[in-house]
Amino acid sequence: MKFPRMFKYLWITILSFRGVIFCFLYAALLALLPIMIPGKPAKGAYVLLLMSGLWVTEVIPIYVTALVPLVFGPLLGIASASVISSSYAKDTNILFFGGLMMACAIENNYIHKRLAITILKIVGSDPKLLMLGFMIPSWFLSMWMSNTATTSMMITIVDPLLTELMKADEEDEKENANSIELPVREGKYDLNNEDEYQPPDTEFVQYHHGPITPIVSNSQSNLKLMSVGFSLSIAYASSVGGVATITGTPPNSILQGTVLTRYGDSTGLNFGTWMCYAFPISAFMFVFIWLWLIILFIGPKSLCTLVQSTKKKEQLARILEAEQQKLGSVKYCEVMSALLFLLLTILWMTRNIGSSGWEKLFANPSEPESVKYISDSTPAILLTILVMILPASNPVKLWRHWKYCYETKTDPNPEITRTLLPWKVALEKFPWGVFLVIGGGFALATIMKLIEYATD
């Protein structure tokens, strides 16, 4: 009787420490590879397999796994700690950092919400156009920030909207089900003379009764199905939008960093050339996904028809108006954030245009053209610094507020004196884990590159 209990406690112990046990056992088993096959290639394979296994199983957070090269690279004698550490702050990683900081400024000043509401007001209440209204801001925003962040932001806007539409639709169905008009005939009929029957004028009287369940369920089920389609459309549009720019999704940044590390600047791969290549692909995929989701969740017949229900249009307008009232009028901080974001995009696109571009203005004439001091990360960090030091309030209003505080000896209002992106907000909103994962990918690529040189 003691053995089963012992096995039970042993199993509970294994379950309790399964992550730790797996990490040590997996690392110990893989250690046989460099022991049996001496040399740097086997050591590099050890680091690669170790990181791959931990990333796939996720027994520890993927962000922690990204730090593995910092330990095993120097310990196994593959590369020095300084070389591995520099991989976590490559130019591409800094570009990703700057782009996401600008995206945090956009989110902090609710520009994404105002953009979504404006587009939804334009498209109207037709289901397929409503889906398009959800997809366009998701697609655009995901070009500049992570797909996960874009989807999370848009879902928080769309979910209450869909909930209100479902409530309104349910109320309409109940009203229609509870009041049905039935004809009542009042004819003149003489019992003594059947031939002189006069046909009655038809009148309608309203009878009230309980709800007709099948009608309500049908409508609600269709709306729920469309809601699923709307939610999926946001996720798909975010994924497709991330393809269009280097900063749209981490794999793009990793690819650019790997290409620049291996081949240098001679490839001509930068923000502008990437967008010229990838934006048309992203746009084509966007249209295809929109049409496909319409067929799946709304119906193929809706592709050829435009359904603009007056009642639905009024409901949607009322809901959007309520959301817009919460935002209030367009504020100074929104205008400034949008202008800085537009400036960053223009600087990215015009930095290197063939033989021209504004980066040529800062070139050193005494050095060859192949030597470049400016990259896409330069304007990204410049604009990041600006959003953290420029005030979110109108300068005149800010001056008057400080004048009032000085004269009345009162503390300033933090909401008026804040910057476009306060550092505390940046700490909360920035995906630091993703930053580490990209760095871990670059560190692994550095290890593989050093092994390649060692075997040549």
Name the pTM for this structure: 0.73
Q: Does 415 or 302 have the greater pLDDT score?
A: 415
Q: Which of helix, strand or coil describes residue 181?
A: strand
Least confident of 177-186, 411-420, 441-450: 177-186
* Token pair listed for 407: 């004269």
Residue 296 has pLDDT above 90, yes or no: no
Mean pLDDT of 177-206: 49
Specify whether the CB–CB gap between 158 and 234 falls below 8 A: yes
The helix, strand and coil proportions of the chain, stated in percent and rounded to the nearest 5, come to 75, 5, 20
Structural element, H or E, at residue 87: none
The mean predicted confidence, pLDDT, of the chain is 81
Closest CA to 393 of 339, 324, 335: 335
- 350-359: pLDDT as tens digits: 887 766 778 8
Least confident of 43-57, 74-88, 119-133, 284-298: 119-133
Q: Which of helix, strand or coil describes residue 179?
A: strand
In angstroms, rounded to a whole number, what is the distance separating the alpha carbons of residues 128 and 293? 9
pLDDT recorded at residue 335: 93
Least confident of 109-113, 165-169, 402-406, 414-418: 165-169
In angstroms, rounded to a whole number, what is the distance separating the alpha carbons of residues 84 and 70? 6
Specify whether the CB–CB gap between 47 and 68 falls below 8 A: yes
pLDDT recorded at residue 213: 43
Backbone angles phi, psi at 27, to 5 degrees: -65, -40
Residue 223 has pLDDT above 50, yes or no: yes
Least confident of 44-53, 80-89, 207-216: 207-216
Structural element, H or E, at residue 449: helix 432-455
- 107-152: pLDDT as tens digits: 888 888 888 888 888 887 778 888 898 899 999 988 887 787 788 8
